[in-house]
Structure 1
Amino acid sequence: MRAGSPRLLREINDRAAIDALLRDGPLTRSELEYAIGLSKPATAQLLARLEEEGVVVREGLRGGGRGPRAQLWAVKGAVAHVAAIDLTPRGVDIAIADISGAVLTEHRQAVPPRGTADEVVRNFRDATAAACEAADLTLKDLRHVVVGTPGAINPKTGHLWFAPHLPGWEGFDMPGRIGEELGVPVTIENDVNLVALEEMIAGQATAARSFVMVWLDHGIGGAIVVDRKLLRGATGGAGEIDWMRVPDRAAADTGIPATGTRFGDLVSSPNVVKLAKAYGIAARNGWTAVSKAVAMTAEATAEESSEQRQAEQFLTDLARRVATGVAGVVSVVDPELVLLCGKTGLAGGETLCRSISAELREMVVPRTPVAFSAVAGNAVRAGALHSALAVVREQVFGLTGDMTEPSRRLDASGDGDGVRTSS
């Protein structure tokens, strides 16, 4: 064996052990031994070495069965810290976590979307510093920050675009300016892309190689995944389906010309409300209208009422609008799955999914199933946290595994309702 090989093997074994502890930990020595395929003495030596280096710690005992309880081992979370931030026109939703994935604090704070570049960045910094303080940390303790935002970041300039509800953030190098202000490396990612990432880790797309995500809420957005990789495009605008011009195939006349309008306008919350009103359904927003219609169609009656027929026709018209906007993407990408997310999409549930699927079959060759998102809580922030941890774990431990693999240890969903205002 050539010189240097024992050290290389140790590094490989160390990475395998850390990966197993992050993925499935805390683990006993025998469980880790089985996971990485080392002998009992070799695993014991590995744990002793990593403990001395401050990488792993003893974390309680595992009981059960006869005999003494077994010592549990875990990665030392304080090795590094990250921040995951969901930026919306209302403000920021921040999670501070250690390198093990344990969330130390959650913090929400209003950050006005308007103002000069200096003002919005400074307000952003103050909110992030407040989150760190709540976790007994400072900004200097952060190793990496990932921010999910509506719109897209041009990879050449760092400028945010497709985000009219965040006017104060336009016209400057967003990751560069935030990074300078925080003193921490920063990654900016489209919010729906982060939801798609979370769907690959813990949602409906854990086994899908390719899928298209459609966000239906106040605003409209999309994400495209091909071969388990996010498609971002040359200028970062891949998936910005809200700007496509599409015809209105709805039977009801709501004042939108048949020649078409922006897809984002066609299925935005205000226009869903107008469509529902045409069928006698009153609601303040799109998701309430859809929820009412779904409930009406589900009512068990001996004979279908006129209200039920109206609700069904409304959902069919909405499905036509959604399918018209998605059809082009489905024809080009031929994905395994179309996923609905956002409050309006989730309100439609299986009923709306079936209608959209039926409409797509009339328009395109691929027979792509349509489902709704299964990720609870703030999926944008959860996806940002997975992304930040992947970066830091590679930097600190040399782990380069697929971050879209499911993880039982990480819980970053938070207790928010995942409400978005623009995508």
Structure 2
Amino acid sequence: MTIVQGTPSWLRATNDRTALSLLLEHGSLTRNRIGELSGLSKPTASHMVSRLEGAGLIHTVGEVSGGRGPNAASYSVRLDRVLGVAIDISGLTIRSTVVDAAGREYQVVERTLSASAKVRSAISDVRGAIAAACEASNTDPDAVVLVCIGVQASIDPRTDELSFTEALPGWPRKGVLQLLEDDLGCAVIIDNDVNLAAVAERHRGHGVSAPGFALLWMGAGLGLAVDLGGTVHRGAAGGAGEIGYLPVPKAATALDPDADDLQDLIGGPAVVRLARDTGLRARSYPAMLDQIETADSRDALLVALAPRIALGVIPVLAVLDPEIVVLGGPTGAVGGDRLAELVQAQVKSASRWSPRIVTSGVRKNPVLSGARDVLTTEVRNTLLGIAR
């Protein structure tokens, strides 16, 4: 990376940000190595390091032998200076973890929430998650300047209004983003959980090299996220992808004559009913997931489920024609490659489209992983912005 040298203050700031970026990319570096990588002279690199150290953005972490002469000091970024917290609220479970500019892995903390709107609030949920994450990672809560929250809801960026919020008791429907930012004193990002799972799929799953994909999330509820060239399509009011409300086609009558929408056809309760029909004694959706992993009737359930999922996938193909359809969420994970294979065969036989249908490549905490990906970029930009 070569920087044109000059004397204006903006150029010094640009060089400082370059040095900080190099340290984030390579880890600890000496002054000379920073000069070599940036293309700057040794004196300029030395001044740059001194400014960053004086600003508290970097610190000495060791020494490197340079042969003759004294050892050279090695510098690293003060990653604890600016932090974020990623949060995933799913049903009555909240998960959180600290995020820094280097994207290091911190412990994920999981807590159980009350179902009562009288006990819960947006502020108490989020404050508790931040405190738990910082305690687990031994980091300072005062260093948290950004929070990204994945929720089972949609947020309208124009009006700061939540919709489809049945899973967030005690949360206000309007003004929640402003409420949280005012209380926490930091920037807050709220996004639909399936959209964040798609962000994770783009960074470390099947979306890494794909021009675009659709992620069908199947859990207790349904959701769809659409990645168009690396950008998740959220819609004008943030409500794109609420596929569970889509009326079922006529072809679904033979599978379930009582189903009115896709939630009735492939949502959690429908999967439980199918599991019972195939021999499982499942009382609830979570209990069914625990049983199906080793059940003898597992394949019978997947065979019964596949044509239903295909009916949910085909409308997506008709509108978007994605190259890849990812089956995500708890149902997609437990169905695995076998379910993807069965759905692909059903789609091929029942439609004109033949996308590649796969199970999510992000098996552990996909929503939280997507929030981490968002925050890593934002925290890094904030840290670089200080060096101005």
Residue type at the aligned position of 1:124 = D
Secondary structure at 1:261 match in 2: coil
Secondary structure at 1:212 match in 2: strand
Q: Which residue is 2:265 aligned to? A: 266
Q: Is the 8 A contact 2:82 2:145 kept in 1?
A: yes
Give 1:233 deviation, angstroms.
0.3
Q: Which residue is 1:419 aligned to? A: none
**Of residues 335, 355, 378 in structure 2, which corresponds to 1:348?**
335
Q: Which residue is 1:131 aligned to? A: 132
Q: 1:195 to 1:54 in 2, by over 3 A?
A: same
**Of residues 169, 180, 183 in structure 2, which corresponds to 1:181?**
183
Q: Which residue is 1:80 aligned to? A: 82
Q: Is the 8 A contact 2:222 2:244 kept in 1?
A: yes
Task: Report matched runs for 1:5-44 at 5 Å.
Answer: 7-27=9-29, 36=38, 38=40, 43=45
Task: Report matched runs for 1:130-279 at 5 Å.
Answer: 130-131=131-132, 134=135, 139-247=141-249, 256-257=256-257, 260-279=259-278
Secondary structure at 2:173 match in 1: coil
Task: Report matched runs for 1:113-128 at 5 Å.
Answer: 113-115=115-117, 119-124=120-125, 126-128=127-129
Q: 1:79 to 1:141 in 2, by over 3 A?
A: closer
Give 1:243 deviation, angstroms.
1.5
CA distance in 1, matches of 2:121, 2:75: 43
Mapped pair 1:338 → 2:325:
yes
CA distance in 2, matches of 1:80, 1:367: 46
Give 1:131 deviation, angstroms.
2.6
Residue type at the aligned position of 2:272 = V
Give 1:51 deviation, angstroms.
2.7
Give 1:120 deviation, angstroms.
0.9
**Of residues 387, 392, 406 in structure 1, which corresponds to 2:374?**
387
CA distance in 2, matches of 1:249, 1:99: 50
Q: Which moved more, 1:383-392 or 1:232-241?
A: 383-392
User: Residue deviations 1:35-91, cap 9 Å, x none?
Assistant: 54556665555434433332223334689xxxx998654321122122211123314
Q: Which residue is 1:318 aligned to? A: 305
Q: 1:374 to 1:129 in 2, by over 3 A?
A: closer
Residue type at the aligned position of 2:270 = N
Q: 1:368 to 1:12 in 2, by over 3 A?
A: farther
Give 1:162 deviation, angstroms.
1.4
Number of residue pairs matched?
377
CA distance in 2, matches of 1:62, 1:353: 52
What root-mean-square deviation, in Å, do the aligned CA atoms of Structure 1 and Structure 2 show? 3.5
Residue type at the aligned position of 1:337 = I
Secondary structure at 2:293 match in 1: helix
Q: 1:101 to 1:250 in 2, by over 3 A?
A: same
User: Residue deviations 1:273-326, cap 9 Å, x none?
Assistant: 222333345445453565346xx5xxxxxxxxxx7xxx6554233111112112
Secondary structure at 1:316 match in 2: helix
Secondary structure at 1:235 match in 2: coil
* Unaligned stretches of 5+ residues in structure 1: 297-306, 400-423
Percent of paired sites with the same residue: 31
User: Residue deviations 1:79-131, cap 9 Å, x none?
Assistant: 21222111233142221334433456644333334325x95134225414633
Secondary structure at 1:225 match in 2: strand
CA distance in 2, matches of 1:244, 1:32: 56
Q: Is the 8 A contact 1:79 1:99 kept in 2?
A: no
Q: Is the 8 A contact 1:248 1:321 kept in 2?
A: no
TM-score normalised by length of structure 2: 0.82
Mapped pair 1:373 → 2:360:
yes
Q: Which moved more, 1:333-342 or 1:3-12?
A: 3-12
CA distance in 2, matches of 1:372, 1:251: 27
Q: 1:360 to 1:76 in 2, by over 3 A?
A: same
Give 1:27 deviation, angstroms.
4.9
Q: Is the 8 A contact 1:320 1:359 kept in 2?
A: yes
Q: Is the 8 A contact 1:75 1:100 kept in 2?
A: no
TM-score normalised by length of structure 1: 0.76
Q: 1:317 to 1:119 in 2, by over 3 A?
A: closer
CA distance in 1, matches of 2:166, 2:327: 23
Residue type at the aligned position of 2:269 = P
Give 1:227 deviation, angstroms.
1.6
Q: Which moved more, 1:377-386 or 1:279-288?
A: 279-288
CA distance in 1, matches of 2:73, 2:350: 60
Give 1:25 deviation, angstroms.
2.5
Give 1:210 deviation, angstroms.
0.9
Q: 1:106 to 1:231 in 2, by over 3 A?
A: same
Residue type at the aligned position of 2:103 = G
Q: Is the 8 A contact 2:272 2:282 kept in 1?
A: yes
CA distance in 2, matches of 1:370, 1:230: 19
* Unaligned stretches of 5+ residues in structure 2: none
Give 1:171 deviation, angstroms.
2.4
CA distance in 2, matches of 1:207, 1:357: 21
Q: Which residue is 1:360 aligned to? A: 347
Q: Is the 8 A contact 2:120 2:169 kept in 1?
A: no
Q: Which residue is 2:92 aligned to? A: 90
Q: 1:42 to 1:359 in 2, by over 3 A?
A: farther
